[in-house]
Every structure is written in C-alpha cells, then in structure tokens.
Chains A and B, each alone.
Chain A
Amino acid sequence: MADAKPRIRLDNKEVRKGETVEVKTLVSHIMETGLRHDPSGKLIPRMIINTFTCELNGKFVFGCDLERAVAANPYFQFRFKPEESGTLKFTWIDDEGVRIEATETIKVT
C-alpha cells in the first residue's frame, strides 16, 4: 500500500500573496475498519491511515486525525492562503507507522 503514489492537485501553483490555493489529495489505502470478519469468522484487524498533514516549508498548514469512518482511499480537499513560496509537504501515516509522502512546489508573488 505504501508504494501507491498519492495524487495531489492544486488549482493554482502560482498565486499572489493573499490569494487562496485549493488542494485536493487522494491516496490509496484500504482503511480496514477492524469491525469486519473474514469468511472464517475471524475479525480483520484495524488498519487505517490515522493522520494526514500538510506543511509549507515545515510550517503546519492543514491536517486531520482520521478515524475508521473515513472512506477507503482517503480524499481531502482544503484551501489555504500561502504566506511564502516553497515546498508543500504532504504526509499520511497509518496504524503500522508506514508513512506516505509527497511534495509540491508553489510560488507566491
């Protein structure tokens, strides 16, 4: 699962200061709830992404704590007003501590 490349879309990678950037992210993950049973009746253990964060040059922008009620292949959409040009870093962490990371570059003029 960790090898799945997350998909990120920014509506604008070059904005003027004060303008808003909309971010859409999608990552492949089963998001197993831990509430389902396999055909033999055994409980399938929980395995979800529990944290997502977005940082700009190391500064926190947006994040969330996911519970099992977030659908498989978590999708997030959010908006922010970047204060400076730089690297947006996206991080997803699952129950086994596996990190999925991606970066994007934005320019603020």
Chain B
Amino acid sequence: MSRRQALTAGAGAFAAGLGVAAAGPARAANDYAEQIRIFTGGKQPIEGRVKLELPELAENGNTVPMSVAVDGPTGDVHVQEILILAPANPNARVVRFRFSAMSVAAAATRIRLAETQDVIAVAKLSDGTFLSATRQIKVTIGGCGG
C-alpha cells in the first residue's frame, strides 16, 4: 500500500467513524433527542439525582471509563433502566442498563466517544418518573479509528 493510499484509507476510516461521510455535514447531530423521547415516552426527565462519572479529558476516545448511579430510590421504587447517550457520536445510543429488584442502581463500563461532547444519562424509575444527568467530556482522539 502506498503512502497516499494509506493516508486516504485512514482519513476515510476517520470520517466514517465520526459519522461525517463525504456527503454529510461536518458535525451531523444524531437523533439523541428522539432517542430520549422514545425512552421516556415523551415525558420530560427531571435533572438530578443521577450521578454520571466520566474523566474530564479522554486522550483516547476508544475506551473511556464511565459509571452511572442513581441516588436513593427508596421503598418500593427502584431504578429499572438507565440509558446512556452520546449526542456527538455517529449513533446516539451507547448502552442501556437493565436492573432488577435485586440490583443496586449503579453500573460501570467503557465506552467509545467520537469527539468532545456532553454525555447524557436518563434513568427510568419504577414509579414512572425519569431522571437525567449530563456530563461534558473532552476527547482528544476520537474513538473510531482516527
């Protein structure tokens, strides 16, 4: 493979990874708002009580540690699901955690982020309320082959 080919392929992979295929706009916003709407059934989530933790800066967007927890669901109310969204990724949905009555409302994983953005967590409680949190993270190198 020539140097030129290598560069072209690399750039192509980078562009595709970021969801900026040749025809698309540079920062194509994905459908994260729609995904939240589907998840909540149109209900507006209440900001707060969700602790979303990410490093302030990720040098490598390919594997970013992320944890989420919901404060004090008490009594019969428990957290059923938590949806994580990345508004500046090619696809909004990152992961959906599903909990049971045995669960502690917390989970952690490692995610891919294409660029600097505000990651969103939306929690669904068994009493029908939705809670949310947003956390900004700066990404130096996008997690999609860049």
Q: Which residues in A have some Cβ–Cβ distance to B below 8 Å?
A: 20, 33, 35-41, 43, 56, 59-72, 74-83
Residues of B within 8 A of A75 (CB): 108-110
In the complex, whether B125 has a CB less than 8 A from a CB of chain A is no
| Residue in A35, A72, A82 whose beta carbon sits within 8 Å of that of B102 in the complex | A82
Q: Which residues in B have some Cβ–Cβ distance to A below 8 Å?
A: 1, 5-6, 9, 12-13, 16-17, 19, 62-64, 67, 86, 89-91, 93-100, 102-104, 106-113, 143-145
Check if B103 sits within 8 Å of A62, measured CB to CB: yes
Q: A64-B97, A70-B110 are in contact. List 14 more A-B contacts (CB 8 A).
A: A35-B90, A36-B145, A37-B13, A39-B6, A41-B12, A56-B102, A59-B100, A66-B95, A69-B111, A71-B111, A71-B112, A74-B110, A75-B109, A79-B104
Residues of B within 8 A of A33 (CB): 17, 90, 112, 144
Q: Is the interface of B mostly helix, strand, loop or mixed?
A: mixed
Check if B107 sits within 8 Å of A35, measured CB to CB: no
A63 with B98, Cβ < 8 A, contacts A35-B17, A70-B112, A77-B108 known: yes
Considering the complex of A and B, which 6 residue pairs feature the smallest CB-CB distances, nearest first?
A79-B104, A77-B108, A71-B63, A71-B110, A69-B94, A65-B96
- Can you name 22 A-B residue pairings with CB atoms under 8 Å? A20-B104, A33-B144, A35-B16, A35-B17, A35-B144, A36-B145, A37-B12, A37-B13, A41-B12, A62-B97, A63-B98, A65-B95, A68-B90, A68-B91, A69-B112, A70-B94, A71-B109, A74-B109, A75-B108, A78-B106, A81-B104, A82-B102
